[in-house]
Structure 1
Amino acid sequence: MSELRVGVAGAGVFGNYHAQKAAASATTSLSGIFDIDDARGKAVAAPYGVPNYTKLEDLLEVSDAIVVAVPAVYHADLVRRALAADKHVLVEKPLALTESVARDLAGEAVKKGLILQVGHQERFVAKAMGMFRIEETPKLMESIRFSPPSPEGRAGDVSVIWDLMIHDLDLAGCLIEGRFKDVQANGSRLHTDHIDEAEATFTYSSGAQAVLKASRAAKARERKMRVVYESGEISVDFLTREVVNTTPYEIRVDVSSVLPDPLLAADESFYRACLGYQNSMIPGHGAIAAVAMAEAAEAAIES
């Protein structure tokens, strides 16, 4: 296969971004858009001279791979249908809304020899920063990810845990070894029918902890991370790019020179994996930990 035919399911903001990447790539062609709202789908498809399909099966028929960028509550269903049609899949985070379904989808992709990649593109940022080169396992990871309410009501179909905290849940799953043994969480509904602010503390068998806070009802954006190791700690303010690093490891916060477009890097890695040039950077099995943590945190709050 010399050129990968990529279809995009979902004509929202991220669907449009993914369509741009597929249309511009040297190794892919954009085969079409799927959106049940034909006018919305055509608005995204028109600049690229491709059709919008109001039935997913029609897009699958003309595609080798699809990008799933629909609301999170529909991720698992579309991924399952695409895998059943023997198509490679890049799905925006989260892979699914339960650990059992995420495991099932990841296993199905492996069984069929298909690429199932999950859109945790902040892993590319963490890698460029040098976080994955650190030889120690963290004793503590703290994160704050706050944003004001979205004027468009983005991601209002799920809680802030699946919307914003999921990024830091994934990073915690990458940085801290093993599976959490306990979670304590609290949260509140403020402007949607779902949890809009949440704080969760995960404790691991090693004694390490991940303390994560997320809000989509804040007065201003805030994005910070603190990681404590035996040898010191790293504190980062991603908005001001201020860094305090008392460890012997070198990290960088401004990664724009090596990673100008994380979404492009993630999409291109997916295309290369589909074409057999490399392994998937974020395979389905690698995204299960974040789903398990999100599910446990939300259950702790609801109970």
Structure 2
Amino acid sequence: MSEHGTDPATDTFVAHRNLLFTVAYEMLGSAADAEDVLQETWLRWAAVDLEQVQDHRAYLVRITTRQALNRLRTMTRRKESYVGPWLPEPMLTAPDVAEDVELSESLSMALMLVLETLSPTERAVFVLREVFDIEYDEIAAAVDKSPAAVRQIAHRARKHVDARRPRRSASVKVTRAALESFQHALETGDLQGLLDVLAPEVVMLNDGGGIKVAAPRPITGASKVARFILGAMAKNGATLTAAPTVVNGNPALALSLGGEFDGVVAFRIEDGHISGLYYVRNPEKLTRVDSETSLTLR
């Protein structure tokens, strides 16, 4: 027992909990499923003879990865029947997450959507190697592959992601300016203002999950996106307000209609213009935007 009356297994699990949650979330894109994975990890960890484990952190990451892989395969089938576009679950994050460039980039909606295009094993290997810098031997043990196979998978996944990932993130100043322009145009119903801040090839994804009304397919092009946004506002008839927030370590806006919270929109910004809009309205995915979630790479 520790001085606080808990056993070593509990102390170790608690010490690494934020890391394990971050691993699970990066693999799944769902905070709810990541929490389930942590519960499963704890049940298996509690049954382990700690004296037989040399590296507790590595062993916990291994358990978490295996459970997340099992969950990811189930989620793949679940997403096939999802109504409309599927977006990662947004989470309100602490300032230190935004300050960690590597972590905030890996958590961005834009990159997490790229990770969705990988196979479950490719995603696990990419996340563990590229995001958490875990050695190939440890990854091999976690995904039940040989180190040589893991290196090949990592190379293939990296090549795939690099071809699709967003270009280098815009500076804080540029990002803030773009979001302020978007917010102003949104709240005033300024069509030209929206067209000025949206990139010509902008893509908008709306996730209502069949619970809230949302566009069933991606909307592409500045004119179509701007007119869709203003048309939806006019159809609803309620006053729209936007409040700056930070989700997944990146700037976002929390939108309210008629004074009632409606959803969170995250952005991809390139060359000073918004090239991606990711609007989550599904209430089942908005349970983590009221209080901060602690995430870490270590």
Alignment TM-score, normalising by the size of structure 1: 0.27
Rg larger in structure: 2
Higher strand share goes to which structure? 1
Larger RCO (CA under 8 A, 6+ residues apart): 2
Higher helix share goes to which structure? 2
